[in-house]
Structure 1
Amino acid sequence: MSAADEVLDVVDENDQVIGQAPRGEVYARGLIHRCTFIHVRDGQGRIFVHRRTPTKLVYPSLYDMFVGGVVGAGESYDDAALREAEEELGVSGLPRPVPLFRFLYDSGGVAGKWWSAVYEVRCDLPVHPQAEEVAWHAFLPEAELARRLPEWRWVPDGLAAYERLRAHRVT
């Protein structure tokens, strides 16, 4: 099954499930769906940063400071966050990511809107990122990430989540 064929829950502006559809149809019709964003730090407090592969359906070859992805039909945000983090990092036995907040993201016509559940997790395991998802990766100190923000092309939804995460930590 291709990524475009994966069935997702379609939700409304209040994050209530109103149906299901294949991911390709969800994106093409701009239907609201659910995604997870997991902010991963290692034991030294560095942040996992990666560049997406050129084959990704949305935002190919851009950098991201989160791992994550779509929530499958009938799947909870919490289960999707753990599944996506383990898949993308190439680990098993990761602690359950801690939920922080949710927000509705509008992609401006790229792939509709999605409810974005933001999590954090510490990963002390050696990572072996999923080759289909991750073209390059590193754990970067926060200061290095801040230096790279204006230099690299970042996924817009990840940037929106990162800005909210920084504001969340201040409050």
Structure 2
Amino acid sequence: MGVVEELVERVDGRDRVVGVVSRRRAVRKGWLHRVAVTVCRDDRGRILVHRRSERLSRFPGHFEVVVGGAVHVGESYTQAAARELTEELGLRALPRLLFTFVNRSGLSPHWLGVHEAVLPDAVVPDPDEVAWHGWLTGPELRSALREWPFTPDSHEAFSRYLAFGTPRA
């Protein structure tokens, strides 16, 4: 039985759908498609950071300050972000969309929908996706971003998240 291709909507520079393609092809060809991520905070303002599993094909073992993935065909950014929180952290939550932008710092250019969610600090990550996780204070996170290998999306999304004016950790 073959691997099922993950289908995404190919979009233009204004984030309008122009077709449906496999995510693999969109990445290979450098076509814009949509990705949804969430910055997760707890009620004390700490930010959830996690290390990607070594088994993942994209950036194995790298750290992330966002949880997320590709927006599937017919999904909104927020629906995709909520699905990813359930898949990766085992939580049902409705994240709040803050902003979107064309991110050119990852494997290929894509529209990135950045969300925020306040979560309980007891999360149960999927071990196939997450090798480690922890809640970091603002100073701890700033230090980690300088010292640990983070995904390119993490740096770009988090700097824009802070500039957006959200509560600081």
Would you call these one fold, judging by a TM-score over 0.5? Answer: yes
Distance 1:65 1:127 in 2: 15
Q: 2:45 — aligned with what?
A: 45
Among candidates 78, 98, 101, match of residue 99 of structure 2: 101
Q: 2:132 — aligned with what?
A: 136
Gap runs ≥5 in structure 2: none
Identical positions, percent: 38
CA contact under 8 A between 1:100 and 1:119: conserved in structure 2? yes
- What code does the residue aligned with 1:151 have? E
SS in 1 for 2:154: helix
The yes-or-no answer on 1:115 pairing with 2:111 is yes
Distance 1:36 1:55 in 2: 21
Inter-CA distance 139–52: structure 2 relative to 1 (3 Å threshold)? same
CA contact under 8 A between 1:91 and 1:126: conserved in structure 2? no
Q: 2:148 — aligned with what?
A: 152
SS in 1 for 2:146: coil
- What code does the residue aligned with 2:113 have? A
CA contact under 8 A between 1:91 and 1:125: conserved in structure 2? no
- What code does the residue aligned with 1:102 have? T
SS in 1 for 2:155: helix
Following TM superposition, by how much is the alpha carbon of 1:149 offset from its aligned partner in structure 2, in angstroms?
1.3
Following TM superposition, by how much is the alpha carbon of 1:125 offset from its aligned partner in structure 2, in angstroms?
5.9
User: Post-superposition, which runs of at least 4 consecutive aligned residues in structure 1 deviate over 4 A?
Assistant: none
Q: 1:34 — aligned with what?
A: 34
Following TM superposition, by how much is the alpha carbon of 1:43 offset from its aligned partner in structure 2, in angstroms?
2.0
Gap runs ≥5 in structure 1: none
SS in 2 for 1:5: coil
SS in 1 for 2:20: strand
What root-mean-square deviation, in Å, do the aligned CA atoms of Structure 1 and Structure 2 show? 1.7
Distance 2:91 2:157 in 1: 24
SS in 1 for 2:153: helix
